[in-house]
Structure 1
Amino acid sequence: MPVARIITVVSLLFASCFAQAQNQIHRIVSLSPHATELAYAAGLGDKLVAVSDYSDYPPAAQKLEKVANYKGINVDRIVALEPDLIITWPAGNPVRELEKLKQMGFHLFPSHVQSLEDIATNIDALSQFADDPKIGHQAAQAFREQLTQLHNEYGNGKPVPYFYQLSQKPIITVAQNSWPSEVFSFCGGKNVFVNSPSPYPQVGMEQVILAKPQVIFTSGHAMADGSMWNDWHDELPAVEKHQVWKLHSDWLNRPTPRTVRAIKEVCDYFAQARKK
């Protein structure tokens, strides 16, 4: 068969599969806030019928029914909604309930995000279910271009030792390659607890003091404003240099197109720290 004929046949098959997927997906459920944002970015907002708690962006998501939270998934309600697609969060949703939905025959789309590129990849993949896939592809491309611009602006900075505080009692941080470590690394941050065996380790105040981070970050979800470190002015460089900063939680903790805002925020703070 001539090459041109093969290309034509493959193109027709792809178009057919795409049209089939597109035509079959009319009702979508999202099981995490970041998945909800990714769905909207992919042009699927008009097909969402239910989302998880804290799915508050874009504002239209706030009006949708909530069928999942940190306690679990309302499987019975999801069954009643009869979704054609369920966007799951394997890293956060209960495995048992996801398996139950799968066994019941629901189409699950797992949103795996471990790197910045994965954000664009997820949007591209979800675009196949949109009436206009160009919306998602353009959003993914715009995200990649913004990353390139930010890398050109901040990519050569000197490493800055930092501590990211997720909670105050107990003190919990992020280690290894757990999200949002990718954001800090992009900006030249050096995690003082990167080698912890746990992805989200609980640490003691003494450990933080001994690690001597140059910067301490907190977030709105941490229920901590960093004031607990004020008494350690002489022992903690971050306190001594007034480099204890609170970050925008939703930008940082949710891997979505808004992550570029978190990168800009974190990179700007590291730039300030380098000047001192």
Structure 2
Amino acid sequence: MLRRAVALMFAFAVTQAHAITVTDDSGASVTLAKPAERVVSLAPHVTELLFAAGGGGRIVGAVTFSDYPKEAQAIPRVGDNKALDLERIVALHPDLIVVWRHGNASRQMDRLHALGVPIYFSEPKHLDDIAASIGKLGALLGTQEQAHASADAFTRDIAQLRARYAQRPRVSVFYQVWDDPLMTLNRDHVFDEVIGLCGGVNVFATEKPRVPTISTEAVLAANPEAIVTSTPGATQPDRQLPGLERWKRWTSMTAVARGNLFGIDGDLINRPTPRLASGAEALCRDLEVARGRRGK
């Protein structure tokens, strides 16, 4: 009995010594006894982060629009951001579930917690958080080497853009998220940081909440030098993304008068993943075009 007890204590000590613990984006600790081998991703950006971290081959279930990289399109679907197929998730026997804190319904989150499977909440709010998220997911997957390489590449790309554009003359920017109702982003969203690194200024940075609804009159009063929105990328939405045609009637607004109405692939600017560096590069180029149109 004593020998068996000692053996069990030793086994427990080894397990504890090799346990993996990280802090997710909600501030909670996530602990795994060993690297995850069967992961369910409950947001498209999560799927991209898992692939970047070297764990694409371990994703056994994902939600609709998890379409990047191409290999992600073959992963079995377990619902979308509105409804999850909880029975199918259980049937996949995951040892880690990665969710989008504000994209998945709280009632379903409660049911997921009841499964007893470790849950990692993912919602990067800053550019540095994207690299950190890749590293943390890599730790949970045991794929640290690839994760660190991906995180370092993203950090390097962002640093290069910041060095090139952040000190350029300021360009006031209105980012249109949606047109009916008219919506934008405040300074608490990662894309506000992208605007800043390109030398832009978000004209609605101080609005509340994080995705505030505004009026046409507010945009006219702000008189932005550039208006930017997302355009359909590989992800085709349920309905047409908002366009910028509505603003062309306001010919006295600076952005319209100078032709500074820009659309960028939504897949590159709406997901907090390494591809945001490509979206940032596109925005930086557009704002440089806006600077070139001054005085003409």
Supply the AA of the counterpart residue of 1:238.
A
CA 1:62–1:14: 2 relative to 1, 3 Å: same
Cα deviation, residue 253, structure 1: 0.5
Supply the AA of the counterpart residue of 1:86.
I
Cα deviation, residue 151, structure 1: 1.4
Aligned to 1:17: 19
- 1:246 matches 2:246: no
Higher share of residues assigned helix = 1
Q: Secondary structure at the match of 1:117?
A: helix
Aligned residues between the structures: 264
Amino-acid identity (%) = 33
Give the distance between the partners of 1:33 and 1:239, measured in 2 at CA.
34
Give the distance between the partners of 2:168 and 2:219, measured in 1 at CA.
24
Aligned to 1:259: 276
TM-score w.r.t. length of structure 1: 0.89
Give ranges in structure 2 of 5+ residues lacking alignment.
1-13, 21-30, 233-239
Give ranges in structure 1 of 5+ residues lacking alignment.
1-11
**Equivalent residue runs for 1:55-66 within 5 Å:** 55-66=66-77
Cα deviation, residue 16, structure 1: 3.0
CA 1:106–1:239: 2 relative to 1, 3 Å: same
**Equivalent residue runs for 1:64-143 within 5 Å:** 64-130=75-141, 132-143=143-154
Cα-to-partner distance string for 1:41-68 (whole Å, 9 max, x where unaligned): 0010111111111111001111111213
Give the distance between the partners of 2:51 and 2:68, measured in 1 at CA.
9
Give the distance between the partners of 1:74 and 1:114, measured in 2 at CA.
27
Query: Of 239, 242, 250, which aligns to 1:224?
Result: 242
Aligned to 2:47: 36
Maintained 8 Å contact 1:24/1:84 = no
Moved more, 246-255 or 60-69: 60-69
CA 1:110–1:260: 2 relative to 1, 3 Å: same
Give the distance between the partners of 1:242 and 1:260, measured in 2 at CA.
25
Q: Secondary structure at the match of 1:73?
A: coil
- 1:270 matches 2:287: yes
Aligned to 2:164: 153
Maintained 8 Å contact 1:22/1:131 = no
TM-score w.r.t. length of structure 2: 0.83
Maintained 8 Å contact 2:18/2:34 = no
Aligned to 2:187: 176
Supply the AA of the counterpart residue of 1:262.
G
Maintained 8 Å contact 2:35/2:142 = no
Maintained 8 Å contact 1:22/1:128 = no
Give RMSD over aligned pairs: 2.1
